[in-house]
Amino acid sequence: PEAITVGDLANRMAERGGDVVKTLMKLGVMATVNQTIDADTAELVISEFGHRMKRVSESDVEDALIQHQDDPEELQKPRPPVVTVMGHVDHGKTSLLDALRTTDVVSGEAGGITQHIGAYQVELSGGDHITFLDTPGHEAFTAMRQRGANVTDIVILVVAADDGIRPQTVEAINHAKVAKAPIIVAINKCDKPGADPNRVRTQLLDHELVAEEMGGDIITVEVSALKGTNLDKLEEMILLQAELLELKANPDRRAEGAVVEAKLEKGRGSVATVLIQHGTLKVGDTFVAGAEWGRVRALIDDKGRNIKEAGPSTPVEVLGIQGTPSAGDDFAVLEDEAKCREIAEYRQRKHREASTSVAARGTLEQMFSQI
């Protein structure tokens, strides 16, 4: 059942709340500005005021936001893989992400200033790029997927060679399977005296993951995040897997992506880290991010540098959002600023309705937009 508060309705018509309450009374409906009325009642009020009503449906919103699907194949260009690190607690996810970060040739040149913005990209000496989601843990992965954001191309499963497969390892395997993301196993802590990589490979068999060494197709790499051993080999395997996936996107279109992280910062306002999935985001673009909208005031990359644009698979901090979206929210550029605002308002209303009990009767699949 969809509805609108009397106050919201008054705002959308640019009428006074008290006048709307009076009009409702005339129609035999007693409601205060904070109360909710159903869509049909609202329609009556709108016509009483002599306004026109336009209804926006969920599918209109989706149509406006999701446009890359229409892109012809020939416009697609190769893009870097997006990688998520998962595994049991203390097996070395954070250590591995930190170690991989140091393999970036660009941040080395820039003096090694790194920002923790929820994702980072490394440029390898050969010129290839890999994007890592810097939010290890299954919650972040699940939260994003629940919001419909399927951003991960490849899962790195970290298993400590001295500890083997543990409950959260199994959980991670299941998450990767549900998301249909290929798994590369990083057998970590191989520097430790008790390390037994082959035991890990044997344990993987119980979960239908057959290592290449055992005649299967699962790539395993023996690493040490602590000593930095075999990180280049792990990256090589990521690139190999990425090649098989034929990851592509069209950079020459309006940007679409997903919010990886968002927060309100003193002096900067709302800041969201967005992973661009299609197109190129530019300073000045107007956009919708979940139930928020904005105009890009500045773009900051993972090395803290101001940039003018960000293409597919690039994580970027976006300044200029009107509110703070949530991790996993969709992000899409739309040329029409009014449309951005309209979609954000529509979604905010939907959120409010979901969180407050709706007193009014009637069901309606559409909602009011411009009046």
CB of 160 to ligand GDP, least distance (A): 7
**90 is an annotated ligand-binding site residue:** yes
Q: Is 57 in the site for Mg ion (CB under 5 A)?
A: no
Task: Produce one character per residue of 240-249: b if its CB has 16 or more CB atoms within 10 Å, e if not.
Answer: ebbeeeebeb
Question: Any known ligand binding at 174?
Answer: no
Q: What, of ligand GDP, Mg ion, none, does residue 90 touch, CB below 5 to 8 Å by kind?
A: ligand GDP
Please identify, using beta-carbon distances, which residue of 172 and 276 lies nearer to ligand GDP.
172
Is 128 annotated in a binding site? The answer is no
Q: Is 95 in the site for Mg ion (CB under 5 A)?
A: no
- Of residues 250, 337, 350, the one with CA closest to residue 291: 350
Nearest distance in Å: CB 191, ligand GDP: 5
Where does residue 146 rank: exposed (0-12), middle (13-18), buried (19+ CB within 10 A)? exposed
Q: DSSP assignment of 296-324, as one string?
A: EEEEE-TTS-EESEE-TT-EEEEEEESS-
Work out whether 94 is an interface residue with Mg ion (CB under 5 A).
Answer: yes
Tokens of 323: 């509110």
Which of 226, 239, 283, 364 binds ligand GDP (CB under 6 A)? It is 226
* Residue the block writes with tokens 């790029």: 129
Decide if 157 contacts 176 (C-beta within 8 A). Answer: yes
Query: Is 138 annotated as a binding-site member?
Result: yes
Q: What share of the chain is helix, strand, coil (3-state, %, to 5)?
A: 35, 30, 40
Min dist. Cβ of residue 188 to Mg ion (A): 12
Q: In angstroms, rounded to a whole number, what is the distance separating the alpha carbons of residues 371 and 354?
A: 23
Q: Is 189 annotated in some ligand binding site?
A: yes
Per-residue contact string for residues 79-118; x = within reach of ligand GDP by CB under 6 A: --------x-xxxxxxx-----------------------
Q: Which residues contact 345 (CB under 8 A, 6 or more apart)?
A: none
Separation between Cα atoms, residue 198 and residue 216, nearest integer Å: 14
Binding test (CB under 6 A) with ligand GDP, winner from 5, 224, 230, 313 = 224
In order, the DSSP letters of 249-274 are E-SSSB-EEEEEEEEEETTTEEEEEE
Residues 157-196 that bind ligand GDP (CB under 6 A): 188-189, 191-192
At 189, list the tokens. 């802590």
User: Quick one: which segment of 34-42, 175-183, 219-227, 318-326 binds ligand GDP (CB under 6 A)?
Assistant: 219-227
92 assigned binding-site residue: yes
Nearer to ligand GDP, 35 or 103 (CB): 103
Q: Is 134 annotated as a binding residue?
A: yes
Nearer to ligand GDP, 94 or 150 (CB): 94
Q: Total binding residues for Mg ion by CB under 5 A? A: 2
Please give the annotated binding residues for GTP, written as ranges: 87-94, 134-138, 188-191
Q: Which residues bind ligand GDP (CB under 6 A)?
A: 87, 89-95, 136, 188-189, 191-192, 224-226
